[in-house]
Amino acid sequence: MNLSSAVVLVGVAADGWLLAFMAIRGRRPWLQSTFAACALSFLVVGAWFVGRNEGLLPPVPDNLVLGLMLLTHALAAILVLGLIHGEALPRRRAVTFLLLAPIPVLAYLAPLEGWTVATAYEGNVLGGFLVACLGIALGETIYARRASPMFATHAFWLSVGVIALIVAGPIYTYELEFIGRTPLAGANLAAPLALACFARVALQTDPFPISPRPAKGRTTAGGIREADAIVFDERRPKYALRTAEEEAASGRPTLIVSREPVKITTSDVTSASFAHDRNAALRTLTTVSEFLASAPGGFVVLEDPADLSALSGWRAVLEIAVRLRHVARDSGSTVVVCPSRLTAAELTALKALNLPWWPMADAATEIIAILAQSFGTGASRLFDSFCHAHGIRREDATTDHVHALQDFLTRALTELSAVVGGPAAHGLQVQYEAAASVLRSFASQGAVEIARGKWPSRRSSETDIELVVTAADYWKGKEMEELFAAADAVSEREPLFEKARLVFVEQLGDAGEGVLRTQLARLGKRPEELERTDLVRIADRATVDLGSLAEIVDVPQEKERIQQQIESIRQKLELIAEGEE
């Protein structure tokens, strides 16, 4: 075996290995297919070259080999452009696919025109086409390097691959012709190097794994119709996540990209958590692009740009914000960017992009503002007692806690009514009801309403002010201090029943306590007699006993949601029971 054949044979083996590697490791089927086709065509041309040189193959028609050679060049160009543009290639550079069109014609003309593999790069139509393919690929890598700082490194490696193909293709063939060794022409010696460069870029820009995969063909519009990238300006991404849940529940394909795995329990929400590498920003972009390409009209939340900034640099984050906007507009989708934890300078730079900017209220601030309308300056203390009772920090409070807060205040008022009676207790009750009504109204507002600025803290002077003043006049005095003391007492005392009750109330709202009491009654127990074994028994039977809560609903998503709530109750009761051991 001569040296040339040996080198090409090693290359063929490398091509095969890269093909298998990409098939196993890649996450973009379309790109993997293009890579496989390109690698396979290089591999077959290489194998033909070795077989011919070593006399292992019967003579193969020249136009067949030329056809394969043309295919390698056209596919290499499409692959390079696919790596740069991803799923957007058919939209942005659809003309690239026309490179496949002349291949059968040129292969057919080859014997008529006297074109051979050895003279493929000569100054004729065939040579022009081959050089044009490599030229287009090289030109696009140079453009990508200049246009996208985030993609610059990858564009460099793509350039290396394409230049290697040029050197080992046209240039090497001219040299062989110059020294009169044309029989050695045919296989591109740099194919493994080029494929390795392409595979490197493909893997480094691969999307993050997402789960579960969105169902195909779901196109429900959802509540937010804007086909754009929107910034939800909030300290923590609470409304962004809540909106994602709502959009998913309405049947819209929804993806959350975050640093940590998403804690949302709704199975309809697809999630991806980004890996800690410096390509995280680019991979986030490809993740979102791939998702929206397969689910146009979808809803995406980018939860942690601050972390992306730490991993890939702030310029990369700004670039993906701009590019996500294009992706959203192209696919009729909504992308929500959460700027929590960004620095002031980063926020200013993000604002300069002129993305739609939706200010979101902070739940804790608004809840305190609502409570202040009824309970004055003691609102903050009441809310702190509630947070203490539930083991949450103020900043962790969301509108989901409103039910539990109402329940907490009711218990505090009940305890207080045992001490103070008459008009004072009635006055407190009236004020509580006024606050509860505004709390419910606030909690029911979605991101769209909140973005319009309907915040209790902003319009506290407008809402139910007459009712508040009238009620306050009822009982000005020391009872308020007693209410705070009662709230503190409630927060300190956490018997087993209270814990179980909170679990039920958290999942089923005000109805939860009644459902728990029914379960207790079935066991023949009173609340104060509740024991760990009872909780275990309630948990064991929850799926059956509480199953009827889901059975009476004929909306599949709602049925599933209630089943999840029941499962959540079951798991939390088990945890409480274990904690009491």
Partner 1 sequence: MKRILTKMEGLDEVLGGGIPDGSILLVSGAPGTMKTSLTYHILHANALEGVRGLYVSLEQSRASLVDHTEGLGYRLEDTNGNLSILDLGTLRKKLTGPTEQPWMDLFKLYTQGIRKSFDYRLLVLDSLDALEILAKFREPRRDMFSLIHWLRDLHCTAFLLGELPSDSGSNGSARTAYARHKEEYLADGIFHLRLARQGEFGMQRQLRVVKMRGTRHETGYQALVFDNGLRVTRILA
Residue 302 CB, shortest distance to partner 1, in Å, is 23
Q: Does 555 bind partner 1 (CB under 8 A)?
A: yes
Residue with smaller CB distance to partner 1, 134 or 562:
562
Contact pattern from residue 514 through residue 533 relative to partner 1, giving x for each residue in contact according to CB under 8 A and a dash for the rest: xx-xx-xxx-----------
54: contact with partner 1 by CB under 8 A:
no
Choose, by CB under 8 A, the member of 175, 395, 510, 578 that binds partner 1: 510
From residue 272, how far is each of 205, 332, 517 by CA, in Å?
A: 15, 21, 40
User: Three-class SS string for 140-172?
Assistant: HHHHHHHHCHHHHHHHHHHHHHHHHHHHHHHHH
**Phi/psi class of residue 422: alpha, beta or left (left: φ > 0; alpha: ψ in -120 to 50)?**
left
Site for partner 1 (CB under 8 A): which residue of 340, 441, 463, 568? 441
Taking CA 42 as the corner, what is the angle to CA 41 and CA 43, rounded to the nearest 5 degrees? 90
Phi, psi at 343, each rounded to 5°: -75, 165
Contacts to partner 1 from residues 531-550, by CB under 8 A = 548-549
Written as six digits, the tokens of 225 are 């119709």
551 in contact with partner 1 (CB under 8 A): yes
Cβ at position 526, least distance to partner 1 in Å = 11
Amino acid at position 470, single letter? T
Distance of CA 534 to the CA centre of its chain: 41
Q: Of 36, 60, 57, 45, which Cα lies nearest the Cα of 12?
A: 45
Distance in angstroms (rounded) separating the CA atoms of residues 465 and 434: 10
CB of 511 to partner 1, least distance (A): 4
Q: In what order do the strands lie in the sheet with 269-273?
A: 269-273, 254-258, 299-302, 334-337, 229-233, 357-359
Q: Is the peptide bond before 527 cis (omega within 30 degrees of 0)?
A: no
What is the DSSP-derived secondary structure letter of residue 352? T
Q: Of 193-201, 321-329, 393-401, 439-447, which part binds partner 1 (CB under 8 A)?
A: 439-447
Residue 362 is a binding residue for partner 1 (CB under 8 A): no
Name the segment binding partner 1 (CB under 8 A); options: 66-74, 146-154, 337-345, 434-442: 434-442
CA angle 109, 49, 36 (to 5 degrees): 80
Q: Interface with partner 1 includes 440 (CB under 8 A)? A: yes
**Residue 561 sits in the site that holds partner 1 (CB under 8 A):** yes
How is residue 362 annotated by DSSP? -
Alpha-carbon Rg of the chain, whole angstroms? 33
Does residue 552 belong to the site contacting partner 1 (CB under 8 A)? yes
Least distance from partner 1 to the Cβ atom of residue 502, Å? 16
Task: Kindly state the number of chain residues that form the binding site for partner 1, as judged by CB under 8 A.
Answer: 31
Q: Is 581 in the site for partner 1 (CB under 8 A)?
A: no
Task: Specify the residue for token string 């995406």.
Answer: 300
Our CB check for partner 1 shows the closer of 63 and 374 to be 374
444 binds partner 1 (CB under 8 A): yes
366 contributes a contact to partner 1 by CB under 8 A? no
CB of 96 to partner 1, least distance (A): 41
Contact call for residue 407 and partner 1 (CB under 8 A)? no
Instruction: Draw the binding track, 235-264, toward partner 1 (x: CB under 8 A; -: no contact).
Output: -----------x--xxx-------------
The residues that touch partner 1, with contacts defined as CB under 8 A, are 246, 249-251, 437, 440-441, 444, 508-511, 513-515, 517-518, 520-522, 548-549, 551-555, 557-558, 561-562
